[in-house]
Structure 1
């Protein structure tokens, strides 16, 4: 049993396979059905064939939902169709219900009986219906009224056909715009014999483009956005399609300072296309955004070039921030490369010297340490060319003036050992003696240990004795570490007199222009007037010695 939602005098009930409808406890003739009542409203009963549904509950069918009209609704519809609106109106007045008045109003509209339709809408309290009837009353053309009524009843094809029959293509287009049927709008615009509204045509193209974009059919959307001149959505489609060539072409075609250019620049920056992003940002006069993009993409050369071109000062702070970030993650070499690419060679050199010093303290292979010092020195040399006197601090002066000192120390350290193993004992001894100038770079214990070995091999026991005396007096060695040196010295000098057979101190007397240069091939002082000098490290070598090499032994620059 189910009471009507909108009428307390109506209820329906089932009795086996028959449905009874009661009005004021007076039953209507029964309806044969095996459905279950689920709703009773607007003089209609909705029932469900549960038995049929339960046969296959996973796949219910709409046919198992059945609507039944009660007798008053059936009688009213029959009166309207067979007798007429006026007689039906009298019957509905005797049996009033909003559904019946609405049925009468719709029938009156079909016959264009506007007076009767308005009264019926008033009785069913349908304000929109009343307004619609008033609007119909203002129309003079009968076909126009019929077309509006067809639209009211959702017979849109019929309404469009009527509009076209009375040569009102504009109203047909307006109808399709309201319905959102832009494909039909475009057909109607193109089918007309006269000129169509360009703005409306663009609107149609863009609406169809939106239709395809909403369904992620970007290729189709591009075609319509191109015709609709919708640059913003076109850029979005190009981005989704990863058609960056199309975005480049759009960047070239857009006028300067166009509002879309920053967005296009961001699209390029997102995928790492630095050059294209910079072009877009510069075209809209945003050099700061272009520089930020270069920094983000590690294109520091371009960033510095842009900063110099546009006289921007914050590039130094940006470099410092990023370098600090790298150093916090122990990525010192990446920070060096960062400064080098940005042409901040002095900062790169400082970091490189720091790396070389750390590697030297760890006792890393001397050849590796030498290479690190050479790289640091070359960076410092590059910085010297662009370093203004007023820009340099005292620490900077020290780095630039003594840039090659670390490389020199490890170069002669390696050279002395190479000469020793190759059997050139005297040369090895003289080179080891030269190493005494680099106690601030190479630990003294290593220098004098090497000197003692070379001097002993050269049977220069006087020099060897001096080296052992120095080793035994080093404050950096504790008693346990000094004892092996003392024992070894005692063993050597009980057998050999601590005296040199000939003078071992290299003749480094002052020349006409100061201290004599040292040959980087032999480690000996150059006393000749003509010698070779490296174009990069400015170190010298004897002509007859350097001719055996293709590269500078110290900095590895090709020999001219």
Structure 2
């Protein structure tokens, strides 16, 4: 038996020198004793190289698997376009294996972003994973990775991706991108831009109001984010007043658009009262409709003056407050934006109305109108559109707008921002 073993070893050595690995593998398998595992793997890999050199990748894979040659196995999977096999190999490899970056590059080359990211993350290369996402236009994934791994490039990534979306007129997608990345102020600015554009197009007021509400809610998220950030930085001895002051100082330092931060709800307010006045008018509450329309005069920078004063003229006429109606027509006739034909139409309509009715309000209306300056300092009820003269009233926890307690009791949600009534 020993003589036979010696002869087999000599035969194997001779075949190795001749490069006949097929015969070497045969001798190793047919031997009566245990064979050398290292030599067996060497034989498998040599035969795998034989088939790979002849581009017979399927055959090569079988031998590389048995020879545990992961580097050449990855090459064969790539050449065969067997990406499932390449993904399985990625799963089997230990973390930080030297082959993982190469596999990540293979996946990136064929546009398989998720698989490439998994390979790069397994070898602790988040920067390469993010670069791959950017190269493959998977911006959302890139931003998510940058935020997860606290990468400094997140701001520039967001700007690039947002520009990419805006070039394709995907503004809402850009807003969602900023929102998911917790860049609420940038999202709010884009949202206000959308709302302003829709307002210029004379889109349905309800839609415009919703857009302004969304924009304002994003600003509220920004306020809360600043407050939370300051609280996490502050020490335990600091008071709530100190937190609030620090948050306000940070907002002043970071905000470049005062309209977005300081007057976030102004657009939503304007269209809320615009819709409220019309609803009150059609439901027959003429007095309330006129008062709400009077309040709308504060929002000429949001809603075109011609729409505000036209609505006021209609409501005051329906309420038989012809003094207020006369003032509305005077304003309409003096608007510089009107065409001559439209101005003439208002003049003719005013003449028709005021030849039948004297341009006067009732004595009670006159007294109330004379005290409008004082009432203008009072909060306005978002349910009725009237000034709140009571000492106790309800205030929304989100938009900070007020309503009479007996009126808000009829609602489950805030009429302005639609947050639940607490």
TM-score normalised by structure 2 residue count: 0.81
Match of 1:557 in 2: 419
Deviation at 1:517, TM superposition (A): 1.6
Q: How does 1:116-515 map to 2 (within 5 A)?
A: 168-175=11-18, 177-178=19-20, 182-194=21-33, 196-209=35-48, 214-217=55-58, 223-236=62-75, 237=77, 240-243=82-85, 246-250=88-92, 253-256=93-96, 258-266=97-105, 274=114, 277-295=116-134, 296-297=137-138, 298-299=140-141, 302-308=144-150, 312-387=151-226, 389-390=249-250, 392=253, 395-501=256-362, 502-503=364-365, 505=369, 515=377
Deviation at 1:272, TM superposition (A): 5.1
* CA distance 1:268–1:469, change in 2 (3 Å): same
Deviating more after overlay: 423-432 vs 336-345: 336-345
Match of 1:544 in 2: 406
Which structure's relative contact order is higher, taking Cα pairs within 8 Å and 6+ residues apart? 2
* CA distance 1:227–1:435, change in 2 (3 Å): same
Q: Deviations over 1:94-134 (max 9, x none)?
A: xxxxxxxxxxxxxxxxxxxxxxxxxxxxxxxxxxxxxxxxx
* Aligned counterparts of 1:456 and 1:272: Cα–Cα separation in 2: 67
Unaligned 5+ segments in structure 1 are 1-162
Q: How does 1:21-36 map to 2 (within 5 A)?
A: none
* Aligned counterparts of 2:120 and 2:185: Cα–Cα separation in 1: 31
Unaligned 5+ segments in structure 2 are 1-5, 227-246
Point out the structure with the larger strand share: 1
* Aligned counterparts of 2:47 and 2:369: Cα–Cα separation in 1: 94
* Aligned counterparts of 1:537 and 1:300: Cα–Cα separation in 2: 33
* CA distance 1:255–1:368, change in 2 (3 Å): closer
Structure with max Cα Rg: 1
Q: Deviations over 1:330-387 (max 9, x none)?
A: 2222221221222111111111111111111111111111111111111122122334
* CA distance 1:475–1:245, change in 2 (3 Å): same
* Aligned counterparts of 2:27 and 2:157: Cα–Cα separation in 1: 59
Q: How does 1:48-63 map to 2 (within 5 A)?
A: none
* Aligned counterparts of 1:249 and 1:227: Cα–Cα separation in 2: 18
Deviation at 1:521, TM superposition (A): 1.3
* CA distance 1:545–1:225, change in 2 (3 Å): farther
Structure 2 counterpart of 1:519, from 361, 377, 381: 381
- RMSD of Structure 2 on Structure 1 (CA): 3.0
3-state SS of paired residue (1:317): helix
Deviation at 1:326, TM superposition (A): 1.8
Deviation at 1:200, TM superposition (A): 3.4
3-state SS of paired residue (2:257): helix
* Aligned counterparts of 2:39 and 2:9: Cα–Cα separation in 1: 22
* CA distance 1:166–1:471, change in 2 (3 Å): closer
* Aligned counterparts of 1:241 and 1:210: Cα–Cα separation in 2: 21
Deviation at 1:230, TM superposition (A): 1.5
Question: Would the aligned equivalents of 1:185 and 1:204 in 2 still touch at CA under 8 Å?
Answer: yes
Point out the structure with the larger helix share: 2
* Aligned counterparts of 1:507 and 1:206: Cα–Cα separation in 2: 97
* Aligned counterparts of 1:261 and 1:166: Cα–Cα separation in 2: 38
* Aligned counterparts of 1:184 and 1:354: Cα–Cα separation in 2: 76
